Structure 1
């Protein structure tokens, strides 16, 4: 009996992997087509945006106003911000764009949302690795102090992106107007991500309130891994993990609730 359950679970897992893979491939083809570089735009697009921000900080500001390597400062803040922002934005239209696929027995509402967010996280991850490797190679930035800590921070923020995307998608399905203004709201939230400053530079009273925001902990943690002891940071990985789990559980519950009323289009 136990072996039968294990076989059933493995088979379900294989089916789930095929469904997610097929949805991701469909999303890539729909979004980027088959011409030119095709799916590579998934990585090139965030790479170009990040490179543009880095060049702006490099040539217009920074090394003139601070002893801190401004390129390293930009590359350890902006890409992570764009990861959770893009993932939540893309999650909003996942259900309506894939409604026809819900006729298939193995395709669920959650699959369509997860596939879209996974693409955004994967694209941002590859772009981050590529641009950091290139900048290290041309000696614009130094090697990270603790790569493992940076990877852990990125993983925790990826979980945050998934949880946030599930919640935002669920709210947008119930209130269509919210889906239209969420993109604007994320611009307002950008300064609250910690991407453009160190928490250490804030007044202590302001810092106390800022630490309630999980995005702050992700950015501080990522920078702590890169800069090491040369910079003072205030991250709490356990708090970030707790926020991730709460968002994920809440998001899954919300998706499960509204999924019952979704009909194949």
Structure 2
């Protein structure tokens, strides 16, 4: 749980230190900025990807009528949310002990966006858990997409220097909005990209949750079939 984010943080800090740009983030120190972005992205990613095989892996449980296909998806997503929250708190504690200012400037706002990122991952997980049963090997496509999405969401690289003509297309990605809003709640002096919107993030959350629930209702019988 700790190894992956710590490895990413160490590699990115090492690269930027070699380039002499370790602290060039407007309104925030680079290491806290990086911790917030990486863990928030992993919260979304794990909620989505862990749901892909949730139904297939728990097929035997559907012999009990009270167990629905959505149940293992919810359980896995909740567990990943709890684990990533614990990891986040551990990294914040370690960074604070090392002298980094990682405590949020707006704790309530940060908690709200953190939960929003979890709900975004849940919505994606609900949709993909159905898609994985209906379309074989879709998990391989999702796996290939994760690294580009990781980079283009601004989790490890600031996108302020990206030309506006490109950035306006990147802003269609709701994960980017979530990461930027979370960072703005952690770092009062941090300026988000123009166009970042809480309303846009929640539009995606509500649409994906509604679509995911509708798919589970529509294909309930096929999801239970061996």
TM-score of the alignment, normalized to the shorter chain, above 0.5: yes
1:166 alignment counterpart = 126
Distance in structure 2 (CA, Å) of the matches to 1:232 and 1:182: 28
Relative to structure 1, is the Cα distance of residues 179 and 67 closer, same or farther in structure 2, using a 3 angstrom cutoff?
A: closer
Alignment of 1:141 onto 2:98: no
* Preserved CA contact (<8 Å) 1:71 1:141: no
Which residue matches 1:154? 114
Query: Once the 2 structures are TM-superposed, how far is the Cα of residue 206 of structure 1 from its aligned partner?
Result: 2.1
Given that 1:221 and 1:233 are in contact with CA atoms closer than 8 Å, whether structure 2 keeps it comes out as: no
Cα displacement string for residues 121-164 of structure 1 (whole angstroms, at most 9, x for unaligned residues)? 21111111111122112213343222222211111111100000
Q: Which residue of 2 aligns with 1:67?
A: 24
2:133, 2:223 within 8 Å by CA — same for their partners in 1? no
Tell me how many residue pairs correspond in the alignment.
Answer: 220
For 1:159 and 1:231, how far apart are their aligned partners in 2? Answer: 24
- Counterpart in the other structure of 2:216: 255
Q: How far apart are the structure 2 equivalents of 1:163 and 1:232?
A: 25
The equivalent of 1:38 in structure 2 is none
Between the aligned partners of 1:179 and 1:52, the Cα distance in structure 2 is: 24
**Alignment of structure 1 residues 71-110 onto 2, 5 Å:** 71-110=31-70
Note if 1:117 corresponds to 2:77: yes
Asked if the contact 2:160–2:193 (Cα under 8 Å) also holds between the matched residues in 1, the reply is yes
**8 A contact 2:181–2:192 mirrored in 1:** no
CA distance in 2, matches of 1:169, 1:251: 9
Alpha-carbon contact 1:198-1:233 (below 8 Å) kept? no
Q: 2:172 aligns with which of 181, 198, 212?
A: 212
Moved over 4 A (4+): none
Match of 1:238 in 2: 199
Structure having the higher Rg: 1
In 2, the alpha carbon distance for the partners of 1:262 and 1:232 equals 41
Unaligned stretches of 5+ residues in structure 1: 1-44
Higher helix share: 1
2:56/2:133 contact within 8 Å kept: no
- The two structures, once aligned, show a CA RMSD in angstroms of 1.9
> Structure 1 residues 60 and 207 mapped into 2: Cα distance closer, same or farther (>3 Å)?
closer
Counterpart-to-counterpart distance in 2, 1:60 and 1:196: 11
The Cα shift of 1:73 comes to 2.0
CA distance in 1, matches of 2:47, 2:190: 32
Tell me how far apart the structure 1 counterparts of residues 107 and 179 of structure 2 sit (CA, whole Å).
14
TM-score (normalizing by structure 1): 0.76
